[in-house]
Chains A and B, each alone.
Chain A
């Protein structure tokens, strides 16, 4: 059984298919058809809902794509959909702002935008968000009609004119409700021969996984759910790791960031961006806010996509994984985790517990670049990471890794060999660029051709060189905001 709040109403669900998405739950089980399906792949945002979670004595509201969220993920949380905003016959201030600014035309994407704006307003806590925050909040919502200008106007109006609403008035009561249903034991949802288990500790997870090695680990689910919604497969056994506090922890020690595998990317952002601004910039362009609110760093590594954006950066930084199986843990360099396309060093019933990211040392710079057709919410054609330690004009250490250039995220060994220990200069960079052609034979696909990928990879190294040696030169179109 799982328990959650459907806005303020306590739902105890005993017999839901664990493969049921929150979108279908709302539309088909609850008759709430305000939330729309535009793609069922987490790319359009029409299905955006807001989930409230306890954070101490407060509620934290986050958007997510209901089409990619399995119902079990709602356990112990509050689900808010577009129908819940209007109160006592009056539009919510974000809804009124959308009306006032002519922010809807066909209206099909509108409920999703309203929910993204609602979360933006809630998280802005009375302050007008800056433009970057607004763009970030809306990057995962596609509108084909308006061209977005009126929606940005509505965002500004909604945040500037925010007044306490019925969610604020009910917050204390909602907090009490959520405390009352806070998970205390391992829950499970079983139906139609499928089950999803929801352990609370790493130990329980390790045991359950050993007992059910065929189970799929469900964290954010933003990739896993595609197997159900796009490939129409059945996932008969899942273990949801989102309730394991220790897996979501982010610790900063003197020399290492220790990131729990199930920490949402949104939460990883601050820690990584503080140490490595380019990592932060990349995370801003990593999928959409809805996806980052759900998706985890462990998941981005675990699914072993050749075009996952975090792995090349983490490899360049020399990150290591803590892998656990039962009571046994081991450390593995991330670059050794990826073996071939979707093949990893992970053993049966083994899972990623944490990611250790070394903190910056003197002379070190991380430069990272993501190149895609569209700036926001797009999959990289090429993702490059250059981790260079420059001492007195000499490259003491050079770790270079790419995504999109091979079947796995991978170091550019030949390129590194040219750079390692050499004095930094234009001629060196050209030799290193030439070496990249030995490191990689990328694919041609609908994102980019082989020739473009290779030339871009080389040009990104040239750009990195320019940024290090001529910091006054403007090199990034993304700096124009």
Chain B
């Protein structure tokens, strides 16, 4: 293409220059892999050409929730043709534990098992079928121990994986004692299976010097690199992680991808053969952790208007058998126990309960949704008690602009967008009018009842483990003007690579077609943070921007010298560069710079400013900024069966100055539906012995197409750029809209509350399955039969 460009006249170049690019920041550019997704050409780990002589791994899982392992005999495994090796914890050459921050997650069970689904041994064979048959042939003898399976039981016994933490502001006990109204209650919040469509998978190839190249579906390349190195007992520089794309992550591949990668690496190390492990869906759901279920107890004091005076909340997270990331997850639940509201005098306690279930892990929102659901339940409880509209109670308690604006962890809330957003959405969604219409509908209809709820989201952006807020990028410009882009983030469908490419395109003022997006690779960008906490574009976009700015500055300096012009006289636009009065194509500039011996490769680095959290004092500024959103959901409920359908959802969400509105709307809608699923049909059920019974899509029901609201109206908040100096003043979008789904849950409860004239909050835990809804209906019927029993 450079030859064609070279042939262009100055006038043609000038015309191109003034046209501007169409794929820069703020444009609804399609996902970089969209064409490959729809044709099946996009390569996921299982689609890679297989290595010759490759082994397939199958893991034998514990069928006990808690037991001592008396004996493992793998001799029978070797009777199956094609079996290469069967390994137990004894065979791991290096470190056995693969806990991400603190130990507690043995790669293979070591003397005891602590949940049904824990990996006890693994077999590698020529085929997956042979590996499975052999793994099931091994003999394991257990001595059962008493399991703890219930989070309340664990809380009462103070059976914790880590210590509790407290955040406090003011004097909650005194405020509660003096409050005009005081209510206590509790709530169970269910967990959630990630249900990424692509199950966990790794494929490894042994390399020389005892090293390993690992193709894996992970959000956390560096951690897999570190853990593979540790289990092999080699330095990190022997291990390469390559990650082009995931078939969904949602937090489920932040720590949980490491297990299969490490098992493959150990087997590849012991056999010298390339090794692949892909989890069947049922095993994936048994083995891997999920969103933490929570048990919540609250004690709230308020006045006649519904204004909070004092509050105490106990948040008990069910962490499963090991710490994993639970410390940060329960912390984030605590950080979001205020959601949008000024709590006043507040004490928030967070507990990390240990149960004999899979170790619960990161999932979109990372504890935040659970903390937020608790306070939204409390808002509804207050509204019912006072006979007020729940939205009125919510807005009354919103954080103020200049006063009433300090959180229970002592960060000041700046730029609270919720009051204006609430006014905008209440108007466009016709909240008040529909509230009236629904009351009329409900009094006219004996069986079907409608419910309406409008709930806000304020979500803190930054890893609360502050050191993780860093990122790197690497850009090469080749002599033909094509650009190679790499960064430490991972693509799981969210469009991160597209956004980062748009950022680089914007800096160089070239179209993104010129930019080749490449697999996340620990050889290119080292020491990456996980792509998590909604931080992908904020961190990696900035790192890539910095790398691009470095290169651009080199080009500008070079041109200024060559053409003896001021650097201010040099401008990039639409693949052209104006140098004084002269126009050059981007390719020409690159070629001249190359000949001029200018380095055309640069790294970029970024760290988030301003943030800190003193855990001892439970105070600080853990979030760089907040992202806001609001959802208004209308539902219709069948009071004879508990079934329901979402009729309409109106959403207004704040992404600052959007990097890509189409991708952002995709995140908002997808997150909303996923959040709605968490609180409605997605129910995890375990047997009395701790076995997950809902271990496949036949029994675990994520939303299907008919579950989306009949009328879905999604808008991004306009003309509100992020006041902080984020990448082009955008805001993170991955997690915040997940919590918009809370409006669906509140709307269902609103419909049920109509049966008791909105004066009692029905006891409907999350998820609000049709069964729970029907019991809520029965509770209301029982009250109306005994009207004096006011709860």
**A148 is an interface residue with CB less than 8 A from chain B:** yes
Chain A residues positioned under 8 Å from B696 (CB to CB): 39, 41, 43, 230
Q: Number of contact residues on A: which range applies?
A: 35 or more
Residue of B42, B448, B703, B708 touching A477 (CB-CB under 8 A) = B448
- Could you give, for residues 44-79 of chain B, a 1 whenever the CB lies within 8 Å of some chain A CB and a 0 otherwise? 101100000000000000000000000000000000
How far apart are A218's CB and chain B's nearest CB, in angstroms?
Answer: 20
Q: Which among B301-309, B340-348, B487-495 touches the partner chain? A: B487-495
A105 B494 Cβ-Cβ under 8 A:
yes
B40, B198, B671: the one within 8 Å of A33 (CB): B40
Q: Is the CB of A149 within 8 A of B712?
A: yes
Q: Smallest Cβ distance from B244 to chain A, in angstroms?
A: 11
A31-60 CB contact bits vs B (8 Å, 1 = yes)?
011111111110110100000000000000
Do A106 and B643 touch (CB < 8 A)? no
Number of contacting residues on B, CB 8 A?
A: 89
A473 near B445: Cβ-Cβ < 8 Å: yes
Q: How far is the CB of B482 from chain A (nearest CB, A)?
A: 21
> Would you call B705 an interface residue if the criterion is a C-beta within 8 Å of the partner chain's C-beta atoms?
yes
With an 8 A cutoff between CB atoms, is B566 at the interface?
no
Q: Is B626 on the interface with A (CB-CB < 8 A)?
A: no
Q: A39-B697, A138-B705 are in contact. Are A147 and B672 (CB under 8 A)?
A: yes
Which of chain B's residues 493-507 have a Cβ closer than 8 Å to chain A?
A: 493-495
Do A480 and B636 touch (CB < 8 A)?
Answer: yes
A258 touches B (CB below 8 Å) = no
The answer to whether the Cβ of B466 comes within 8 Å of any Cβ in the partner chain is no
Q: Type the 1/0 row for B598-632, where 1 means its CB is closer than 8 Å to any CB of A.
A: 00000000000000000000000000000000000
| Any A CB within 8 A of the CB of B484 | no
In the complex, what distance in Å separates the CA atom of A228 from the CA atom of B637? 40
Instruction: Say yes or no: is B147 at the interface (Cβ < 8 Å to chain A).
Output: no
Chain A contacts with B in 221-235, Cβ cutoff 8 A: 230, 232
A226 nearest CB neighbor, chain B only = B698
Given A373-B681, A373-B769, A480-B636, answer yes or no on A107-B42 (Cβ-Cβ < 8 Å): yes
Which of A81-89, A294-302, A352-360, A395-403 sits within the interface?
A81-89
Say yes or no: A108 contacts B446, CB within 8 Å.
Answer: no
Q: Please tell me if the beta carbons of B492 and A374 are within 8 angstroms of each other in the complex.
A: no
Q: Which residues of B contact A110 (CB under 8 A)?
A: 37-38
Q: Is the CB of B38 within 8 A of A104?
A: yes
Indicate if the CB atoms of A107 and B672 lie closer than 8 Å.
Answer: no
Q: Judge whether B707 and A106 touch: CB under 8 Å.
A: no
Does B705 contact A144, Cβ atoms closer than 8 Å?
no
How far apart sit A378 and B702, CA to CA, in the bound complex (Å)?
10
Say whether, besides A36-B197, A373-B770, A106 and B445 are in contact (CB < 8 Å). Answer: no
Chain B, residues 263-298, CB within 8 Å of chain A (1/0): the string is: 000000000000000001110000000000000000
A83 touches B445 (CB 8 A): no
**B704 CB contacts on chain A under 8 angstroms:** 139, 142, 374-377
A168 to B707, CA, bound (A): 34
Question: Are B643 and A114 in contact (CB-based, < 8 A)?
Answer: no
Name the residue of chain A whose CB is nearest to the CB of B684.
A446
Q: Does A145 lie within 8 Å of B666, measured CB to CB?
A: yes
Contacting A at CB under 8 A, from B4-43, are 28, 30-31, 33-43
Question: Which B residues are in CB contact (< 8 Å) with A141?
Answer: 705
Q: Given the complex, which residues of A lie within 8 Å of B162, measured CB to CB?
A: none
In angstroms, how far is the closest chain B Cβ from the Cβ of A227? 14
Q: A369 CA to B494 CA in the complex, in Å?
A: 39
- Asked whether A142 and B697 contact (CB < 8 A) given A149-B712, A373-B770, the answer is yes
* Cβ of A109 under 8 Å from chain B: yes
Which of A91, A378, A448, A449 interacts with B38 by CB under 8 Å?
A91
Are the CB atoms of A99 and B34 closer together than 8 Å?
yes
Neighbouring B residues of A369 by C-beta, 8 Å: 641
Q: Does B663 contact A (CB under 8 A)?
A: yes
Task: Tell me if B771 and A149 are in contact (CB < 8 A).
Answer: no
Taking the nearest CB of chain B, how far is it from the CB of A310, in angstroms?
18
Q: In the complex where A106-B198, A376-B704, A480-B710 touch, is A39 in contact with B281 (Cβ < 8 A)?
A: yes
Interchain CB contact under 8 A, A379 and B247: no
Question: What residues of chain A lie closer than 8 Å to B249, measured between beta carbons?
Answer: 106
List of B residues within 8 angstroms of A114 by Cβ = 38
Distance (whole angstroms) from the CB of A25 to the closest CB of chain B: 15
Cα A473 to Cα B441 with chains together (Å): 11
* Residues of A with C-beta under 8 A to B647: 480
Give the complex CA separation of A147 and B195 in angstroms.
14
Q: Which of B40, B199, B493, B710 contacts A34 (CB 8 A)?
A: B40
State whether the Cβ of B791 lies closer than 8 Å to any Cβ in chain A. Answer: no
Given known contacts A142-B197, A146-B666, A463-B447, A107 and B282 CB-to-CB distance under 8 angstroms: no
* Contact yes or no, A146 B640, CB < 8 A: no
Q: Say whether A11 faces chain B, with CB atoms less than 8 Å apart.
A: no
Say if the beta carbon of A22 comes within 8 Å of chain B.
no
Given contacts A99-B35, A474-B448, contact A374 B638 (CB under 8 A): no
A474, B197: Cα distance in complex, Å? 37
Contacts of A232 in B (CB 8 A): 129, 132-133
Instruction: State how many angstroms separate the Cβ of A377 from the closest Cβ of chain B.
Output: 6
| B385 at the binding interface (Cβ < 8 Å) | no
A459 at the binding interface (Cβ < 8 Å): yes
Cα–Cα, bound, A104→B196 (Å): 14
Asked if A466 is an interface residue, CB under 8 A from chain B, the answer is: yes
Contacts of B250 in A (CB 8 A): 144
Bound Cα distance A36, B196 (Å): 13
The residue on B at minimum CB distance from A137 is: B705
Residue A462 lies at the interface, judged by CB distance under 8 Å to chain B: yes
B683-703, CB under 8 A of A: which get 1 and which 0? 101000000011011110111
A90 to chain B, nearest CB (A): 11
**Among A91, A473, A474, which residue has its beta carbon within 8 angstroms of that of B35?**
A91
Whether B245 pairs with A448 at a CB distance below 8 angstroms is no
Query: Among residues 68 to 99 in chain A, which have CB atoms less than 8 Å away from a CB atom of chain B?
Result: 81-83, 85-86, 91, 95-96, 98-99
Cβ contacts under 8 Å, B681 to chain A: 373-374
B662 at the interface (CB under 8 A from A): yes
**Contact flag A104-B693 (CB < 8 Å), given A38-B197, A144-B197:** no
Cα–Cα distance between A44 and B280 once the two chains are bound (Å): 13
The answer to whether B706 and A95 touch across the interface, beta carbons within 8 angstroms, is no
* A residues in contact with B159, CB < 8 Å: none
* Closest residue on chain A to residue B28 by CB atoms: A102
Task: Check A151–B705 contact: CB distance below 8 A.
Answer: yes
A104 touches B39 (CB 8 A): no
> Which A residues lie within 8 Å of B37 (CB)?
98, 104, 107, 110-111
Residues of A within 8 A of B197 (CB): 36, 38, 44, 46, 106, 108-109, 142-144
* Bound Cα distance A146, B696 (Å): 20
Distance, CA A32 to CA B636, complexed state (A): 44
Query: Is B673 close to A, CB under 8 A?
Result: yes
Pairwise interchain contact B248-A481, C-beta atoms closer than 8 A: no
| A476 interfacial contact with B, CB 8 Å | yes
- CB-nearest residue of chain B to A32: B40
B39 touches A375 (CB 8 A): no
Q: Is there a chain B Cβ closer than 8 Å to A455's Cβ?
A: yes
Quick check: is B645 within 8 A (CB to CB) of the other chain? yes
Q: Are A371 and B770 in contact (CB under 8 A)?
A: yes
Q: Is A6 an interface residue (CB 8 A)?
A: no
- 23 A-B contact pairs sorted by A residue (CB < 8 Å): A33-B47, A34-B40, A39-B697, A43-B696, A44-B197, A91-B39, A95-B35, A102-B663, A105-B493, A106-B248, A107-B33, A108-B196, A108-B198, A110-B37, A145-B670, A146-B670, A373-B770, A381-B770, A446-B685, A463-B640, A475-B638, A477-B645, A480-B645
Q: A86-B39, A91-B38 given. 7 additional CB < 8 A pairs? A: A36-B198, A41-B696, A232-B129, A371-B641, A376-B704, A445-B693, A456-B640
10 closest A-B pairs (Cβ-Cβ)?
A: A34-B40, A106-B493, A108-B247, A107-B37, A147-B673, A43-B697, A105-B493, A33-B47, A446-B685, A459-B640
Which residues from chain B sit less than 8 Å from chain A, CB to CB? 28, 30-31, 33-44, 46-47, 129, 132-133, 194-199, 245-250, 280-282, 445-448, 492-495, 636-638, 640-645, 647, 662-663, 665-666, 669-674, 681, 683, 685, 693-694, 696-699, 701-708, 710, 712, 714, 769-771, 774-775, 778
